[in-house]
Amino acid sequence: MAFLQDPTLIVEWLRQLLLGWGLSPALTSLALYVLGALALATGPLLWVIFLIWFERKAVARIQDRLGPNRVGKYGLLQPFADVLKLLTKEDIIPAKADKFLYWMAPILSLAGVLLLWPAVPLGKGIGGNVNVAVLYLVAVGTLSTFAILVAGWSANNKYALLGAFRTVAQMISYEVPIVLALLVPVLLARSMNLQDIVAAQDVWFVVAAPLPALIFFIASIAEVGRTPFDLLEAESEIIAGFHIEYSGMKFAMFFAGEFLHAFTVGVLGAVLFFGGWRGPGAEAYPILGLFYLWLKAFLLYFVIVWVRGTFPRVRIDHLLDFTWKFLTPLALVVLMATAVLDKALVRAGAWPRALGLLVVNAVIWLLAQRWLRKVEKRLEPPMVAQPGQYPVARYTPPEPQAAEGD
Amino acid sequence: MIPLSWYLVVAALLFGIGVYGVLARKNAVAILIGLELMFNAVLVNVLAFWRYLQPGETAGLVFAVVIFAVAAAEVAVGLALFIAVYRKFGSSDVDDINLLKW
Amino acid sequence: MVTTFVFLLTAVVMLVAALIAVLKDNLVHAAMGLVVTLFGTAVLFVLMEAYFLAVAQVVIYVGAIAILIVFSIMLTRRVGAAWGAQTNPTWPFALLVAGLLTVLVTRMVRAWAPDQVLPAAAAVPADMTARLGAALVDPNGYVVPFEVASVLLLAALIGAVYVAWGGRKAEKETHK
Amino acid sequence: MDSTWVFIGVFFALAPLLAAAPIVIGHYLGPSKPNPIKNDVYECGLKTVGDAWVRFKVQYYLFALVFLIFDVELVFLYPWAVAYDMLPTFAVLEGLLFIVMLLAALMYAWKREALDWYD
């Protein structure tokens, strides 16, 4: 099976086929690009349908419920039923909406997530090989931010706009630690190309850079807007936030975008910190590499679902304090320490370098912990259970204030 | 192939549109939008010259990077002033801000 | 062939979007026009093989500057209120100045470099981003602009925060 | 031109179409019986309060502002990180000085309470 050793053969085969049909070489290349793009885009889109089922089932089990179990075996056909329902729902467009932007927002939202995929290396020599891939990911991420701003604006509903403002404030605040954390794998691999970053991980970067990996993971969850950082669209408290006026398939696109984004975070985490497609035998059989990447990504995605099922929602001031006053300074310090130590250890070989960086990360983490304890003591009275009392902080109603819009 | 002059013409048109925006607009933010268009025209120009005349050198790229920094600083301070003025006067029209008229 | 087509398409889209950005009374639409123009500039950068600057353009301009502009527009306006005319009564004057400038520059460009194309040997080195990085911190290179840029940005941040934000106490008082 | 960028260009053209397809299909598959009440602004059970407007909150702007400055400076650091093997110790220190500037900017915004959320 030559195909298993070199999947690019399929491209060659297709090229010969198309050339045999009498297409010109240039047109053949274009057709192949279009086919490749279609395959790379529809794959994740179909995968989302399974993800929705998986997440509902997993969260249900965590919360001691059954989850979908009526349609098909284990409720596996539930997402298809949902899609059918959403497709046949009325598409309500608010009378005062800014029509063009109202249509554009959900499209941009999903496209912004899909566009992350061409940069991802799927195996040795297959998938993304973009020379500035890491910054490309950040650049494409801005499209999602814009989609939310446009969605909140175009519906002409002040609550939608307020929700969009808050969501965007959250997203851009968490983008700072993400960009900082991404800088560390780039520094360790001396390249922004994800293919090179994977190739440089003889020792997974999570060993050399556990703190940046953690920062990237947490901040990405917030960027996607999932629990515990989903207070901007908290279903159980306020209605929806920026997509309040959206219904039917447009609403579904925002939702699909969120689910796919969560999985994509898993993929990016796997590529940047967990060796990507690397694994035993992946060099010889690239298909195996694709499987490893998928497995690692799925495990990380499961952690995201797990977090969603277990953690309570945070408050908005805590949310913003957490990124600006903890994650960002921490990431800056880790970046400086990594830069200095990496210059000193560059000739020491892969494992000593990784272990040295690991020790530095651990020291920084301990110092951060100590600092946190100190700040904690200064800020809030300790919530310790007294005999005969529940460990619940006392609620003090806020001072009555003049009516305000926000 | 695309001749150098095409890039320069596009940049010139962009710059002209930006100048019109700066001169004709009332709202302070709209004026800033015009300014951004002009900055972009300059960026296109700088990079076109880099690509066609010195593609192996870093000077053109450094120039562009510095323009990024200047544009960012300009927008940050410009909009901060705009917001301070808006909070004071309740208007974003530059014609309404006429304290220095007398 | 393909690059020429992409270039022409991008140029037309960019210029139309730029016109929207300076002509529309609806300022949110104008800002969206600006975003499209900025994106088009990034496409031109890709055509010129300045890949790092293309993505930096999107990250900085579309991701940060445009969002700041859109924020300022949306925050200073009543939801649902009419926009009103956004153009000065003296706009014909502005048109004259801008038009003259454009015609002059365009004529100059055409006269100076009518059909200069890429020399055959002029390839961009593959490690251009690394070279840029080295040049930015090279004492014989551009370390002064690099550090000055950081000081400039620090100053801009301090100035902007100072101007826009009076601190929590002052804020409470202005809203009473 | 690098072939990956041609691919990305094709992807940029295709991805929005793929995202738009289900929306357009849904638009035509579903029923369409608009009426003024259905298409009105959706607010919590009460009638829309006409001129109530979003009070200006400078907070949002401040976050965007600090983010802008950080974004620009961080983009500068990426080429520095890529070029790390070519750099002498002195150049590494230049980069660190740059990061310290960033830290100083953060500290200023922090001490000025520009990063606090207040109600």
Per-residue pLDDT of chain A (406 residues; tens, 9 = 90+): 566 677 778 888 888 888 888 778 888 888 888 998 998 999 999 999 999 999 999 999 998 888 888 888 888 898 899 888 888 888 888 888 888 999 999 999 999 999 999 999 988 878 788 889 999 999 999 899 999 999 988 888 777 888 888 888 889 999 999 999 999 999 999 999 999 999 999 899 999 999 999 999 999 999 988 878 876 666 555 556 788 788 888 888 988 999 999 999 999 999 999 988 898 888 888 888 889 999 999 999 999 999 988 888 888 888 888 999 999 999 999 999 999 998 888 788 888 899 999 999 999 999 999 999 888 777 766 555 556 655 555 556 666 655 544 4
Angle between helices C66-75 and D58-82 (to 10 degrees): 180
Cβ-defined contact of B19 to C94 (cutoff 8 Å): yes
The residues, ordered by sequence, that sit 6+ positions from A388 with a Cβ below 8 Å of its Cβ are: none
* Tokens matching residue A93: 């467009």
| Cα A122–chain centre separation | 17
Going from N- to C-terminal start, the domains of chain A cover: 89-315
Would you say domain D3-111 falls under CATH 3.30.70.1140? no
* Predicted pLDDT at C87: 82
Task: Say whether the D–B interface has 3 or more Cβ pairs within 8 Å.
Answer: yes
Tokens linked to A57: 């089932």
Domain that holds residue B58: 4-101
Which chain D residues have a beta carbon less than 8 Å from that of A134?
78
Question: How much is the pTM?
Answer: 0.90
Q: Least CB-CB distance to A149: which of C59, C70, C130?
A: C70
H and E: helices and strands count for chain D: 3, 0
Q: What's the distance, Cα to Cα, between the start and end of chain A in Å?
A: 64
Q: Which residues of D touch A131 (CB under 8 A)?
A: 2, 4
Q: Which structure tokens are listed for B11?
A: 């940049």
Is any Cβ of chain A less than 8 angstroms from the Cβ of C73?
A: no
Domain definitions of chain C by residue range: 1-77, 126-176
Q: Which residue type does A350 have? A: A
Bridge partners, residue B25, by sequence: C87
Interface test with C, best of D86, D97, D115, D118 (most C CBs within 10 A): D86
In A46-197 the beta strands, taken as DSSP E runs, fall at 121-123, 126-127
What residue spans define the domains of chain D? 3-111
Query: In sequence order, what DSSP letters do the residues of A325-337 get, joined into one string?
Result: IIIHHHHHHHHHH
Contacts of D12 in chain A (CB under 8 A): 115
The DSSP 8-state label assigned to residue A131 in this structure reads T
End-to-end Cα, chain D, rounded Å: 52
Do D102 and A332 form a contact (C-beta atoms < 8 A)? yes
Which of D1, D60, D75, D82 to mutate to test binding with chain A, by most A CBs within 10 Å of its CB?
A: D82
Q: Tokens at residue A98, please?
A: 């800014």
Q: Which two tokens stand for residue A241?
A: 């936030």
* Residue the block writes with tokens 């694709």: A290
CATH class name, domain C1-77: mainly alpha
| Predicted confidence (pLDDT) per residue in C41-52, tens digit | 999 999 998 999
Largest Cα separation within chain B, whole Å, is 57
Res D115: pLDDT: 83
Closest CB from C35, C58, C130 relative to A139: C58
Q: Which residues of C touch B64 (CB under 8 A)?
A: 50, 53
Element (H, E) at B72: helix B59-89
Question: Is C21 in contact with B37 (CB distance < 8 Å)?
Answer: yes
Which candidate in B47, B54, B93 is best for mutational testing of the C interface (most C CBs within 10 A)?
A: B47
CA distance linking residue C7 with residue C16, whole number of Å:
14
CB contact under 8 A, D58 and B83: yes
D6, D23, D106 member nearest A328 (Cβ): D106
Residue D43 burial class via C-beta count within 10 angstroms: exposed 0-12, middle 13-18, buried 19 and up? middle
Q: How far is A39 from chain D (nearest CA, A)?
A: 10
Q: Rounded to whole angstroms, how far apart are CA atoms A237 and C32?
A: 32
**Which of B70, A136, D17, D4 is closest to C42 using CA atoms?**
A136
Provide, as residue numbers in chain D, all residues whose Cβ is less than 8 Å from the Cβ of A209: none
- Give, for A280, the enclosing helix (H) or strand (E): none
Domain count, chain B: 1
* Residues B3 and C118 sit within 8 Å (Cβ to Cβ): no
pLDDT in tens, D39-59: 777 665 555 555 444 555 778
> Beta strand A126-127 with A121-123: parallel, antiparallel or unpaired?
antiparallel
Query: Which residue in C157, C168, C171 is closest to D105 by CB distance?
Result: C157
Chain D residues in contact with C60 by the CB 8 A cut-off are 71-72, 75
**Predicted pLDDT at A246:** 86
User: Which pLDDT belongs to residue D60?
Assistant: 83
Residue A242, number of CB atoms within 10 A of its CB: 32
Q: In CATH, what number is assigned to the domain containing residue B93? A: 1.10.287.3510
CB contact under 8 A, D80 and C49: no
With contact defined as beta carbons under 8 Å apart, do A60 and A66 qualify? yes
Question: Would you state the pLDDT for residue B102?
Answer: 47
